[in-house]
Structure 1
């Protein structure tokens, strides 16, 4: 599990890795992570940057807390709806584009120089990737770009403002999604991307690229909503960041879809357990973390992402995604009307 951690000045590390996952319907020869830190180790270079914002943060009053929570809830709901609507349109446009390319094959490549050298090798490598791997690399590159932005001193105040999630800041909505692409520590980034790489291929194989991206983004926003709600309830204001909320949504979806899949720990391959038992254990641990107020990780964010992943697998696909035909029809008529006019 990739851990969403509260951003603070203390150390917090905890990792437990599993691998060799065999799915009954989708072959997965990869490695996953059972517990891995969405942690934020102390770094002297950033201590002066984050210390001042933490010192000036105050507890949110009852009125302000209610408004902030309501605003976060409305944004999460609207963003989730927009994500799946966008995925529906994106899927339609991709299929339409592929169809027209198949019907009107024109050798445009003859008008351009053929790629040679490293470009040809890069193109061959990219074409050899699965759809899940390509989707993973797009998300990974976005996370790496944000990680590098943290290393620019002139941008740190902006990064703290927009790329960390906290109920004590003046901006509520945008950080709820931007914080899910934000990592300051290299090991934190590597751990989260390792988990995403492990589960992205089977998830994309089952869902499709557009559907996967919508689930990933929606799980991330749901995790931020749970984090904000929990912090308000506990009168906490520490900011948090990382992709684990979104990843937990994907992990929970796959473990619920394929509960009998056997997982094992990388360092202890002889010990195996089912995916269903794994996600239940992870959620039990995060529930205990919320109840007892553990502050090593952002346990509420973990639960938010996991709950959304399970909700989507149990109810969302059947009652929302598979009933998107009216949206496709309206979009088709809209495009046709635009073209005719």
Structure 2
């Protein structure tokens, strides 16, 4: 619990400090380019425009470098390489900052997923990128958040992150713009990253507490119960059956505590934050039947499904982590923007202090 609290506090503190540094850097950069900003106050909109212009210029330079390199290839390949480069760069340039950040997180998840496919790395990945509540490791609460073994699991989480993560990002941006007086903020990316990591850690902590504080003591009590001891037998066959049955029962009991991985808990935080921030929005499955429903009904159904899963003892998904992430999203919707504003104010004052 201390690890989660300290890591979350560190994530938000670093995010606020880095946001302040980057904002100051862009402000100085704009003032050095044009004297207009010495008499006109720079706004967040001005910062966004400057960043967009710089990004487009950077992409154009990269495309020019690619085209100059491609000239060394056979003539038949040159147009294909150029088309691929444009097909990648154009959507990236057109996308919002939120989409671009979510894509980067997804790429990180893809990299970890690819590492799972290396057979010789699997023992290391199992120890360091899956969280086992009985392992005594706390860092895996963080690393397991970006870990997926199944391609379907990875795909579903990436699709959900791209949509709900971008919406949550926009809400954080909108809330920051309401600050009075306005606090310059060149990017919301660090804020969202701190939110995403904290939501994942909180959801993992909820699942960890349930397993370590409730399931494990119950498991120990069940294994120590006389009902699992070998009963008295009168024949040799009965004795063999009794001794072979007890280990199977113990093994089945031990399977009640399973390691976990995946970004579902963090994404659930973005889902509930989005549902509260945009209550009139509609959502639909990306596969048929894709009938649109109100987001609050859809999220309510997901929470109800996880609640039923807990009551019924379903173990295919980590339902406690899902509910923990959902709870974090609700809490952050209520108190997060105010907390972030105070961090930014403190960071800005510290930066301006002599």
1:241 aligned counterpart, secondary structure: coil
Structure 1 moving runs of 4+ over 6 Å:
106-109
TM-score by length of 1: 0.70
Q: Deviations over 1:84-117 (max 9, x none)?
A: 11211121122112212212239998xx894243
What is the number of residues matched between the two proteins? 258
Q: Deviations over 1:115-144 (max 9, x none)?
A: 243496354443332101110111011101
For residues 89-100 of structure 1, the aligned pairs below 5 Å read 89-100=17-28
Contact 1:259 1:277 in 2 (8 A): no
Equivalent residue, structure 2, for 1:254: 274
The answer for unaligned runs of 5 or more in structure 2 is 35-53, 68-81, 173-187, 217-255
Between structure 1 and structure 2, the one with the greater Rg is 2
**C-alpha deviation, 1:157, in angstroms:** 0.9
The structure-2 alpha-carbon separation of the partners of 1:242 and 1:105, relative to structure 1 and needing over 3 Å to count, comes to same
**C-alpha deviation, 1:304, in angstroms:** 0.9
For residues 277-316 of structure 1, the aligned pairs below 5 Å read 277-316=297-336
Name which structure has the greater RCO, CA cutoff 8 Å, separation 6+.
1
For residues 1-341 of structure 1, the aligned pairs below 5 Å read 73-105=1-33, 114-117=64-67, 118=82, 121=86, 122-171=88-137, 173-207=138-172, 208-232=188-212, 233-235=214-216, 236-266=256-286, 267-269=288-290, 271-318=291-338, 320-333=339-352, 337=354
1:225 aligned counterpart, secondary structure: helix
Contact 2:129 2:140 in 1 (8 A): yes
The answer for unaligned runs of 5 or more in structure 1 is 1-72
**C-alpha deviation, 1:294, in angstroms:** 1.4
TM-score by length of 2: 0.67
Q: Deviations over 1:147-203 (max 9, x none)?
A: 0111111211111111111112132x1100100100111111111101111223222
Q: Deviations over 1:189-232 (max 9, x none)?
A: 11110111122322222222222111111111011101111112
Higher strand share: 1
Q: CA-atom RMSD, angstroms?
A: 2.4
Cα distance in 2, alignment partners of residues 120 and 98 from structure 1: 28
